[in-house]
Structure 1
Amino acid sequence: MVLYGVAALAVCLLVGTLIGELLGVAVGVDANVGGVGFAMIMLVLVTHWLRGKGRFPEATAQGVLFWSAMYIPIVIAMAATQNVAKAVTGGPMAILAGLAALAAGAALVPAVARIGGTAEPLPPLTEHEKQEA
């Protein structure tokens, strides 16, 4: 059911938000630190685990796909609500955290690129598929 996919996303978002709030308390800021990111990582891990167990039907995947299409606008809306000017003037920690995240992301690109190996190219489209596109 599509509803199960949306429910899986909702549970991951709630747990990710809780983790983000706890991390914010741990580092001494009055904010959610990475809750949406934790939620998305959790969703990827949970869906991968469920697919491996054969308990992730196509209809459930459709519920997750629907919200994954909404992910970027949601993140942009959340980022727009944060007070970036205050974070930067509050000290160098915001800049250092951003630079550390940038460096870690850049360092992980080669490792992520090696995951999986090469795959066969997709077959050419049939006439029916060309008409639908």
Structure 2
Amino acid sequence: MVLYGVAALALCTLVGMVVGEVLAVVLGVDANVGGVGFAMIMLTLVTHWLRQKGKFPPASEQGVLFWSALYIPIVIAMAATQNVVKAVTGGPMALLAGVGAVVAGLALVPVLARIGEPGEPLPPMTAAEKQEA
């Protein structure tokens, strides 16, 4: 069952990369445009939909959780391959886009925090749970 989670991740990654490559061709850019981001959004939507349908058992989630723990190092490695110096010296557009994305993200935090109903707090940990942690 863990294999199904890894398969879902792999399929979403492949489709995301294809979408990123197609978008790069359409925009005339010589690089994948957001393939990993599209893959992660697709994975989130697909797994949510499968959970709602009851077709994504907890064992399959373990396969996705395993690779999601590696997501941040992968993104950092991919970002390290980009030529940041050339982008910054090429004009102010790269800096403007970066600052704009950060400002938009910060502005959306309060909006996203209001989505949904407040949840119930977790009960205090038992002695056995404290030993496991």
% identical equivalent positions: 77
5+ residue gaps, structure 1, are none
1:70 is matched with 70
Choose 33-42 or 99-108, whichever is displaced more. 99-108
Cα shift at 1:56: 0.6
1:50 is matched with 50
Query: Using the alignment, how far apart are the partners of 1:58 and 1:64 within structure 2?
Result: 10
Choose 115-124 or 99-108, whichever is displaced more. 99-108
Matches for 1:5-20 after TM superposition, within 5 Å: 5-20=5-20
TM-score, normalised with respect to structure 2: 0.92
Matches for 1:39-118 after TM superposition, within 5 Å: 39-118=39-118
Query: Using the alignment, how far apart are the partners of 1:104 and 1:23 within structure 2?
Result: 23
Cα shift at 1:93: 2.9
- The CA deviation string for residues 16-47 of structure 1, in whole angstroms up to 9 with x for no partner, is 11111222222222111111111111111111
1:24 is matched with 24
5+ residue gaps, structure 2, are none
Query: Using the alignment, how far apart are the partners of 2:20 and 2:106 within structure 1?
Result: 23
Give the match's secondary structure for 2:121.
coil
Code of the aligned partner of 1:16: G
Query: Using the alignment, how far apart are the partners of 1:29 and 1:20 within structure 2?
Result: 10
TM-score, normalised with respect to structure 1: 0.92
Query: Using the alignment, how far apart are the partners of 2:38 and 2:109 within structure 1?
Result: 19
Cα shift at 1:57: 0.3
